Chain A
Amino acid sequence: MIALASLFFAKVSLAQKELLSFDENNRYIYYQVADAPGLREDTLLARVSYFLKPEYSKIKLNRTANPNLLNGSGKFLVYGGGGLLKHEHGEIGYSLNIECKDQKYRYWLTGFVFTPYQRDRYGNFVPEPGKEIPLEAISNKLGKKDADSYLDETGTFCKQLGDRLKLFMTKTFAPKKAEVAKRTVTDKW
């Protein structure tokens, strides 16, 4: 029984695409609400900015009408092949939204768009110009194996981003102490 449960656990661990659901517009979404007991809205917003700056500095932030909502767009690479043959198969663009209120915040990633990579004449894998496939349509455009793999990688990326965000939102970071180089004085015995 336990053996079967172990195998089931392995299977469930693989299916990261299950972390994604569909929103009211039938688009893939990764949606989470988290509690932040004792933390005010402005503190949470400051921590979001603090999180994005070093961790995801290439996310382009956009202004929104709601001052408590931060919206940005970014992309991550997806890989194919295994072992030595593993290389970039494409990139997935996404929209990230983080909204804060007193003692809680929510975040969601949506608007996933896959851009396939091709090998160029110089031996690099680069985006195919003009090819953009919404993640919702990826099963119609690509083989099942690739489509499932990219959905799994999307789920994994979203969870990873969410886990890092939670760390920044709940943990207080002490200011970094200036590192003092260890010095040895040789003019004294």
Chain B
Amino acid sequence: MKKVLLLLCLSAATIFTFKAHAASLPADTGKAAVVVPDPPLVFSGSVDTYYKYDFSGHPNIPTSFANENNSMSIGMIDLGLKKTVGKASFVGELSFGPRGQSQSIPNASPGLVTFPGTSNTGTAYSSYHIQNLYVSYNVTDKFNLTAGYMSTFIGYEVISPAANFNYSTSYLFTNGPFQNAGFKATYTFSDKVSLMAGIFNDYWNVYQSANKVNTFGAQLMIAPVKGWTAYFNLITGPASGTEVDLTTTYQITDAFKLGLNAADFTVPSGVGLTGGFSGIALYPQLAVSKAVTLGLRGEYFSTKTGNYITAGPPAGESVTAITFTANIKAGPLTFIPEVRLDNSSKSDIFVNNNAFTSNASQFVLAAVYAF
């Protein structure tokens, strides 16, 4: 009996030690003479859910996500895979749920369909949304080529709730591109400067082009001082218009970070549209403890005069939105309580007590689990 117990203990100790050592063995980032195994398949993603209440009793604020009123709702489950072998990598990221589908989606199979096994018809919606699907190749340590369907390089905020500080989104995010399909080349001059240039499909947020790949995109990244990065972005095409964008963040102290996003969009000429939008958003954030960070988003957004309609104020008018957000971390789980106040410059674009009004306010409590 003692021998069996001893054998079990030795086996457990060996397995336990080996597993722990293997799990904690760090990889050197330098080149080794010995053969270094390629990084393993990386599996990551997030799950999010939220409660939202609009103080008017109506869904009001037209920016992306969390649009219902007095509802416990779900965002999406986001599942990403990444693998690198030598100089070649791929990323595949799929999302399931309203945030990743109907609220941000290029519908993969639009049109009327007959549901299998019935005579019922309805509008087809794809059952998932691809967030990223691309392959990339490091030609050298400094030069990378990437092709596929990628999260846009424009703007401060993204679809994934795990990568945003605020849970609701800005007008600039909602009205800008979410994803672009195309081919891009990035050259890293140093840790402080890199340049990307690429050619993308004729329209934003589509898996395939209408019939042309004629949108040009470029991004200049500079890091003037430690902790400060700035991205100067341009995307322009005869079908999708021209957006110029500045996205920058500066970690000024250990606790305080300041972000800024400014953009200007002009619709393409020759398609019967005029106008566009412009705006600026400021993102100060202060870590008050190792678990809690408080932040604010102050945004000014205006729709240019013309016949182009934005998810925002009417042409020639503007809206100001102030969002107070906290991030409370409990391991991989982040609770995000948020209060948002929007105010339009002229027209009564919001609804309150069955009457139109110029301001809106809402409360959101979201939970985002990232892995």
Q: Is the CB of B5 within 8 A of A3?
A: yes
Contact B82 A123 (CB under 8 A): yes
Secondary structure call for the B interface: mixed
Within 73-129 of A, Cβ neighbours of B (below 8 Å) are at 74-79, 81-82, 84-87, 91, 118-125, 128-129
- B54 to chain A minimum Cβ distance, whole angstroms, is 29
Could you tell me the distance in whole angstroms from the C-beta of A181 to the nearest C-beta in chain B?
21
Q: In the complex the two chains form, is B371's CB within 8 Å of A55's CB? A: no
Task: Take A9-B17, A85-B44, A129-B249 as given contacts and tell me if A152 and B29 are in contact as well, using a CB distance cutoff of 8 Å.
Answer: no
Q: Does A175 contact B (CB under 8 A)?
A: no
Contact check, B31 vs A57: say whether CB atoms are below 8 A apart: yes
A104 to B25, CA, bound (A): 28
- Please, which residues of chain B bring their CB within 8 A of the CB of A57? 30-31
Binding site for A on B (CB under 8 A): 5-6, 9-10, 12-14, 16-17, 20-21, 23-34, 40-44, 80, 82, 91, 93, 131-132, 134, 150-153, 158, 160, 162-163, 223, 226-229, 249-252, 254, 257, 290, 331, 370-371
Instruction: Please name the 3 residue pairs, one residue from A and one from B, whose CB atoms are nearest each other, closest first.
Output: A130-B227, A130-B251, A54-B33
Q: Tell me if A's interface is mostly helix, strand, loop or mixed.
A: mixed
Which A residues are closer than 8 A to B by beta carbons?
2-4, 6-7, 9-10, 13-14, 16, 54-59, 74-79, 81-82, 84-87, 91, 118-125, 128-131, 140-143, 149, 152-154, 156-157, 160-161
Q: List 24 A-B contacts (CB under 8 A).
A: A2-B6, A3-B9, A3-B10, A6-B12, A7-B13, A14-B20, A54-B33, A55-B32, A56-B28, A77-B26, A85-B43, A85-B44, A86-B40, A118-B163, A119-B44, A123-B91, A123-B132, A123-B151, A124-B82, A125-B44, A129-B229, A130-B228, A131-B227, A140-B290
**Which residues on the A side are within 8 Å of B33 (C-beta)?**
54-55
CB pair A124–B91 under 8 Å, yes or no, is yes
Cα distance A87–B23 in the bound complex, in angstroms: 11
Q: How far is the CA of A84 from the CA of B26 in the complex (A)?
A: 17
**A14→B24 CA distance, assembly (Å):** 9
> Do A87 and B42 contact each other (CB < 8 Å), given the known contacts A13-B20, A55-B30, A122-B151?
yes
Which A-chain residue is minimally distant from B42 (CB atoms)?
Answer: A87
Contact B371 A54, beta carbon cutoff 8 Å: no
On chain B, the residues within 8 Å of A129 by CB distance are: 223, 227-229, 249, 251
Tell whether, in the assembled complex, residue A75 and residue B29 are in contact, meaning their CB atoms are under 8 Å apart. yes
Docked-complex contact B251 and A82, CB < 8 angstroms: no
By beta carbon, the residue of chain A nearest B7 is A3
Selected contact of A119 from candidates B5, B13, B20, B162, CB within 8 Å: B162
Quick one: closest B residue to A145, CB to CB? Answer: B331
- List of A residues within 8 angstroms of B25 by Cβ: 153, 156, 160
- Evaluate contact between B290 and A141: CB separation under 8 angstroms: yes
List A contacts of B31 (CB < 8 A). Answer: 54, 57-58
Q: How far is the CA of A1 from the CA of B26 in the complex (A)?
A: 33
Contacting pair A123 B26 (CB below 8 A) = no
Within 8 Å CB of A54, what residues of B?
31-33
A59 touches B91 (CB 8 A): no
In the assembled complex, the Cα of A130 lies from the Cα of B230 at a distance in Å of: 13
A26 to B252, CA, bound (A): 26
Chain A residue at minimum C-beta to C-beta distance from B225: A130
Q: Is the CB of A153 within 8 A of B26?
A: yes
List residues of chain A with CB within 8 A of the CB of B43: 84-85, 87
Closest residue of chain A to B89 (Cβ to Cβ) is A124
Q: How far is the CA of A87 from the CA of B332 in the complex (A)?
A: 13
CA of A124 to CA of B360 in the docked complex: distance in angstroms?
Answer: 37
Task: Tell whether, in the assembled complex, residue A121 and residue B160 are in contact, meaning their CB atoms are under 8 Å apart.
Answer: yes
A185 to B284, CA, bound (A): 75
